[in-house]
C-alpha cells in the first residue's frame, strides 16, 4: 500500500516519526514523504529528521511565508502535482496547519482517501486558522484517528459516521514514552544554561493570536519579565515571535533573566520541558508534553483543544489580557499536581493507525 504523507511543521514531524516507523516495521507499506517547507530552517525541521531517525523527504516543496491564502494555495497546487506523479492509495495528514488542509484538499479533489491523525479536536473558536483547518480536514477525511474520547464525541455531534472514527489514542504519547526515557537532567541544555532541574519557567509563544496582536504580546512580555525577577525564564524563540518582538521594540530590552534561545531540536526541547518548574505556552503539543512529563502548564490562550487537562488540574488557562492575571496563574501553577488521569491511551496509537490503514 502506497501512503503519501504530507508534513510541514515541527509538531507534525514528531507525530509522524512513530507512525512512519510502525509502517516500516510492518513491511506492508511504501511511504512517500512530502515536506511542504512551512517550517523550513534547520532547527525547525531538518534536525527533527535526524534526531527522530526519519527518512528524508522525497519531495521538498519550499513553500513558506505569505498569508494563509497564498501559502495554502501554493501548497495545494504543488501537492496535486506530486499526487498525480505518485498515484498513492491514500494520503496521510497530521494536526491542523495549512499543510494539513492543503494535503487533504488536494487528495479529496483527486478522489484519494484521506487519513487524518489528531482528528476531532475543537477549540470552538473560528477566529483561529487552525480551527478552520481542523474542521475542513475532518469533513473530507475517510479515516479520522482521534486522540481522546472527547475528540470522538465532537465528531459524533457533527454527524460523522461511527465507522469513520477510529479512537486510537495520542501519537504524542507514543513519542514521549519512546524518547522521553532517553533524556535526563545531565543533558546539554541545562548544562549550557547553568540551570538545575525545577528552577526555571519554560515559555513558548508562536500562535498568531498572540504574535500578531501587539497588546497581547506586550502582556506576555511584561508577565515573563515580572516572573524573571524571581525565577529564570527560558524562552526558545519561534522566528515569527522574534520578528514580532522586534516589531514592537521589546526584543533588545528583554531582561537578562529571560534566557532567549533559537528554536531547539526535539531532544533539547524535551529536556527543558521535562525539568521545568512550570511551562507557559500557547502550543497545543507542548500542553500535552508537559502532562506526559507531569510538569504543570499555563496556556496563554482564551481556550484549548485539550480541555481534559484543564479539567484534571494539570493545565490552566490564562488569556494574556493583563500581566497580573498571567503572573498569578504561573505562580499558582508552580508545584501543583493534577488528578491521576490517563486520557491519551496506552502509547500504542501509531500501531493502531497502521493496523487500521
Block mean pLDDT (10 aa), the chain, length 357:
95 93 97 89 66 89 90 97 98 97 98 98 94 98 97 98 97 92 91 96 96 97 97 94 95 89 91 97 95 98 96 98 98 97 96 97
Catalytic residue among 35, 39, 116, 206: 206
Which of these, 127, 146, 130, lies nearest to 213 by C-alpha position? 127
What's the confidence (pLDDT) of residue 266? 87
Give the per-residue pLDDT at 44. 53
- pLDDT at site 135: 98
- Determine the pLDDT at residue 43: 55
Q: Is 91 helix (H, G, I), strand (E, B) or coil?
A: strand
CA dist list (Å): 311 to 168, 212, 220, 306, 307: 21, 29, 24, 9, 6
pTM: 0.89
Q: In this predicted structure, what is the pLDDT of residue 54?
A: 87
Phi and psi at residue 98, in whole multiples of 5°? Answer: -60, -35
Task: Please indicate whether residue 206 is annotated as part of the active site.
Answer: yes
Q: How far is residue 53's CA from residue 56's CA, in Å, rounded to a whole number?
A: 9
Amino acid at each position: 500500500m502506497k501512503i503519501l504523507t504530507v508534513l510541514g511543521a515541527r509538531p507534525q514531524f514528531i507525530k509522524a516519526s512513530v507512525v512512519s516507523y510502525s509502517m516500516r516495521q510492518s513491511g506492508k507499506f511504501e511511504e512517500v514523504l512530502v515536506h511542504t517547507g512551512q517550517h523550513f530552517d534547520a532547527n525547525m525541521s531538518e534536525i527533527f529528521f535526524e534526531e527522530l531517525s526519519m527518512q528524508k523527504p522525497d519531495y521538498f516543496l519550499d513553500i513558506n511565508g505569505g498569508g494563509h491564502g497564498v501559502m495554502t494555495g501554493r501548497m495545494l497546487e504543488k501537492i496535486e502535482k506530486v499526487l498525480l506523479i505518485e498515484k498513492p492509495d491514500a494520503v496521510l495528514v497530521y494536526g491542523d496547519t495549512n499543510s494539513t488542509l492543503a494535503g487533504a484538499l488536494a487528495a479529496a479533489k483527486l478522489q484519494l482517501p484521506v487519513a487524518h491523525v489528531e482528528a476531532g479536536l475543537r477549540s470552538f473558536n473560528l477566529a483561529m486558522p487552525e480551527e478552520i483547518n481542523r474542521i475542513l480536514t475532518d469533513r473530507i477525511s475517510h479515516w479520522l484517528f482521534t486522540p481522546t474520547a472527547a475528540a470522538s464525541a465532537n465528531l459524533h455531534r457533527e454527524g460523522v459516521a461511527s465507522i469513520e472514527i477510529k479512537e486510537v489514542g495520542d501519537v504524542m504519547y507514543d513519542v514521549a514514552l519512546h524518547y522521553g526515557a532517553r533524556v535526563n537532567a545531565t543533558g546539554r541544555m541545562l548544562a549550557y544554561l547553568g540551570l538545575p532541574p525545577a528552577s526555571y519557567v519554560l515559555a513558548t509563544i508562536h500562535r498568531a493570536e498572540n504574535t500578531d496582536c501587539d497588546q497581547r504580546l506586550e502582556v506576555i512580555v511584561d508577565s515573563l519579565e515580572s516572573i524573571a525577577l524571581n525565577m529564570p525564564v527560558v524562552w526558545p524563540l519561534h522566528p515569527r515571535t522574534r520578528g514580532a518582538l522586534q516589531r514592537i521594540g521589546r526584543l533588545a530590552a528583554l531582561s537578562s533573566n529571560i534566557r532567549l534561545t533559537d528554536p531547539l531540536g526535539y531532544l533539547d526541547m524535551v529536556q527543558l520541558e521535562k525539568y521545568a518548574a512550570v511551562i507557559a505556552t500557547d502550543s497545543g503539543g507542548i500542553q500535552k508534553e508537559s502532562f506526559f512529563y507531569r510538569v504543570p502548564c499555563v496556556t496563554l490562550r482564551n481556550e484549548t483543544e485539550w480541555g481534559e487537562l484543564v479539567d484534571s488540574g494539570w493545565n490552566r488557562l490564562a488569556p494574556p489580557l493583563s500581566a497580573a492575571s498571567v503572573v498569578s496563574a504561573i505562580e499558582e501553577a508552580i508545584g501543583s499536581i493534577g488528578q491521576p488521569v490517563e486520557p491519551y491511551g496506552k502509547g500504542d496509537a501509531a500501531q493502531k493507525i497502521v493496523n487500521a490503514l
